[in-house]
Structure 1
Amino acid sequence: MSVMSPLPSTSAIQTIQEIPYQLLRQLVADKVTGKLTIQNPFDEFVNWQIYLGNGKIHFANSAAGSIERLNYLLGSHLHQRKITLPPQLTDDYRYLCDLWKQEIFSFQQTRSILTQFTQEALVQILSLPKTTCYLDPKGGLEQLFLNLNLEQVIAPVQHKIRYWWELRSEVNSPFQRPLVEDWNRVQTTLAKAHHQSNGWLKKLHHALESLQCLYGIASQTQLSTLQLAMLLRPLIKTGEITMLPYQEIQTDNRPLVVCINDRPAIQRMVQYTLVANGFKTMALEDPFKALAILLSQQPSLVFMDAQMQDMSGYELCSLCRKTPSLKDLPIIMLTDNDNLIERLRAKLAGASGFLQKPFLPQELLQSIQGQLPARISLEG
């Protein structure tokens, strides 16, 4: 293990490139106070946070995905108390503190829950390779419940850290979303290798169909994220499951139109035309990442190029139609040829409409008007 030089004393946010395990040990040894943010080097949407005070751990959590982690770590407790999580939640620590203030949990129960949240986050953080970290000396918590010793808090989960370290090449985060193209093959493999019951497989199938992240799937199948990752690992290695990145739902009142196309000229024209008519737009090139983003963003309409290298628009459209929350999504297929065969392929894939390239802005708007008549006005 390399020996790091002491960090300079400063009130400004510092950017540090280091292995999180080594960095955290030094910060604790130096009795540092502040908030340490750790980027997941494999997924731009996933960051982790550790709150430090005089070399002690006050709390650790994820910077995103609070709802998924709360459901996973606390779902059974909330269900027993008939508590429903809010639709949006950005501060899980404050939420848990509020439950204590409402006397839903005792002080000791709250400490136990916060310790569990911290340990689970530390498992993910300390199993990451060298990455970018940000230290904010002014970052802190309003109310303190914990003052944990690093060695003592990670001792019970040291084996999980090692397992996750080994899993990183296949599963880089519990926030990843598994994509299954052929459920029958996956079901057969799991049933043979692990003798899973039909009831458990149905729960897994439902969670996979809705493209949930591992936290959500683990909650529904009553497994830990580690157990689930190890169960799916062989299928990921063989390519039967593709792991997609995580992205949270973004809030915007304007209707969203997504264009999945690898041609910049088309993307620019779509964006220029639609933004001028009251839409927000999103340009995507990778069809594998597109499915996860469509699920999280819930757009009003999608333009999908029929001819893409890694996965055709017809294949992607079919996958959308097999996903419950996307089965009614208006999808307009963009194709180079307007003939009976292409129109038939688009129809069989479940496309809502058909538009031949190249097209004029008026034609683009008209194709949307047929799907969303109340959401657009044609202006000269």
Structure 2
Amino acid sequence: MSIDYRGIKKLANQFAILQRAQFSGRLDVASETEKQPWSFYCYLGRIVYATGGPHAVRRWRRNLACYWSEVEITALVTKVTEAEVWDYQALCLLADSDASKLPQIKAMIKSIVVEAVLDIAQMPNITCRIGSQKPLDTQLALIGIGEVFKEMQQNWQRWQGAGLGQYSPNLAPILRQPERLRSRIPTAHYQLLKTLLNGKQTLRDVAKQMKREVAIIAKFLAPYLQDGIIELVEISDLPAPVRPTIPSVPATLAVAPLIACLDDSPSICQEMEQILMGAGYRFIAIQDPLRALTTLLTRKPDLIFLDLVMPETNGYEICSKLRKTSLFRNTPIVILTGNDGIIDRVRAKIVGASDFLGKPVESKTVLEATRKHLAQAQTISA
């Protein structure tokens, strides 16, 4: 396993935006390589809970087992009725039954969140979407973004130091050559490992059963893995006690307005992407002005942010060309510039620009302009 630093930076930036906006609701994170998305429930910019991903049930049961017996867990899940966030509902029931358990529940939730973030860090090409702006009814924990990423990084460094940096802790160890292992370790250790290394439990599961950090278990097993005595295999998640509802992209998000930003500056495009996608819009960045018209005609955005000064052309020329096509005659076009002068504003109006926005861009002004012009465009088309 290796961390995709672009992906984790993207996730960290997304959380930073939500933190500044004091967002309450659900953030969905998807990866090209995983069918099941992760969902992070937030309240006023802090994380309340995380679920989803490839091993959501295993993760929940494993962390719960640190504090409660299997009998207690089985009794608890029989009371669960909610489908989408059944695991969180179970924790709420647990807290309601005994308020003294709240510190353990909070510790468990933090562990679950850190695990989820570490799993996402290994995924290529993640996408983040606002799935809902309705928070959970109860907030059992409020976890700061900074502490989550700090602990995730520490866990990753320990895992990498164990010598299995190219593997995921969600893989299951299976004993392939028992006799070779028997000859290399004490009998008592062999009997224990023979029971645990059955290909049905992940490295994380094994570590919890042995009451050790997963990095310590990984370091112990690394030589036997390299010698082919042990193999790491993929396994599926455990069945959920309630058939979970996979958080889907809401209808309003599936048809969310597509916003285009034409700017030759990668940093401006990245900043605009974080602002707009963080607010639930779809986004496309165009950095090559020579290909702008072709891309815009193909994608048909609902609103266009257009840089004023670009190599080989300028925002006025592109805006004028767009207004001459029937497709973009009424599309909102907002000019971006660092020169907020009266002459520039007049010229922008002459070529048909809808608005003028100064640089550096700010989240509040970008979103206000976006909402304003999309609403006006909708009124015109109605």
TM-score by length of 1: 0.49
Structure index of larger Rg:
2
Higher relative contact order (CA 8 A, sep 6+): 2
TM-score by length of 2: 0.49
